[in-house]
Structure 1
């Protein structure tokens, strides 16, 4: 029953029926409080609806538990850190992103969201450096990857 309900909730969310998905996932989370996958999906359903504060305990349970695929665990770190940033909890967001990067070093999306939190925490130079590093490592840098990587480390250098 849990698997069928979880699949139904995910389908509802994907079909744009976020509130119905959220209600089903809240009930699933109540019945399966230690299920990391249910917690992650419940967090996601809350975030989709702009209910970031309500997503927090679900993200915490998802990341504290076992059983998430690597992709979902990465998604949980990214979503949780982003949610904390939106809530103005910048130090906690940065801590979450750092934890995520220990497990998923180099992930571009995680580092990009971390850059936003760095900016919000008043660490704009680190934010720009992080973004430049992400760009330099991507396939979007064109023939400028070396220059972008250089300036990521020498941001304030001028002639």
Structure 2
């Protein structure tokens, strides 16, 4: 028994408002019920995943994230959020190789997103990819920091991001 159109939109909006008010468990319950009724709805699945994550229920969030990313209809921002959420969740669950693979693909789709690059660096660290993790983080730092010291040494930081073993 599916639900669509204005009824679906109102049920979804109500559940999101509940989560935003701090009623995380009630929102999760509503979103799970809605996801059962809207099995092919990527946006509902994404919101259900997020509701699980907010409560620290990472393992339970995974199938909802995966469903959201398999489906169609997510906005670019929600797709980016689902990729970040699933990649981070894989990492938290110790599924490091899956986290790296997913986050690498996400960075290709959203190359300027600093959060995706940061979470990829963390997952690379977990898989022993320390050199690449440092390169990503140093590059991100050089590109985004407004710290006067970082700005002053930006060229050196960018240089060493490419080769931390370089000497004079």
* CA distance in structure 1 between the aligned counterparts of 2:101 and 2:54, rounded to whole angstroms: 23
Question: Aligned to 2:13, what secondary structure does the other structure show?
Answer: helix
- The answer for unaligned runs of 5 or more in structure 1 is none
* CA distance in structure 2 between the aligned counterparts of 1:152 and 1:59, rounded to whole angstroms: 33
Return the TM-score normalized by structure 1. 0.96
* CA distance in structure 2 between the aligned counterparts of 1:118 and 1:33, rounded to whole angstroms: 33
Return the TM-score normalized by structure 2. 0.91
Residue 121 (structure 1) aligns with: 127
Give, in angstroms, the shift of residue 15 of structure 1: 1.1
Residue 146 (structure 1) aligns with: 155
Equivalent of 2:114, from 100, 105, 108? 108
**Pairwise CA RMSD:** 1.1
* CA distance in structure 2 between the aligned counterparts of 1:69 and 1:155, rounded to whole angstroms: 38
Residue 51 (structure 1) aligns with: 57
* CA distance in structure 1 between the aligned counterparts of 2:22 and 2:166, rounded to whole angstroms: 48
Give the total of aligned pairs. 159
* CA distance in structure 1 between the aligned counterparts of 2:155 and 2:15, rounded to whole angstroms: 45
Question: Aligned to 1:63, what secondary structure does the other structure show?
Answer: helix
* CA distance in structure 2 between the aligned counterparts of 1:102 and 1:127, rounded to whole angstroms: 16
Equivalent of 1:60, from 52, 55, 66? 66
1:105-152 deviation line (CA, Å, top 9, x unaligned): 231110001001011111112111110011111143422222111110
Question: Aligned to 1:68, what secondary structure does the other structure show?
Answer: coil
1:74-98 deviation line (CA, Å, top 9, x unaligned): 0111111000000000000011101
* CA distance in structure 2 between the aligned counterparts of 1:11 and 1:129, rounded to whole angstroms: 40
Alignment of 1:23-62 (within 5 A): 23-62=29-68
* CA distance in structure 1 between the aligned counterparts of 2:94 and 2:151, rounded to whole angstroms: 35
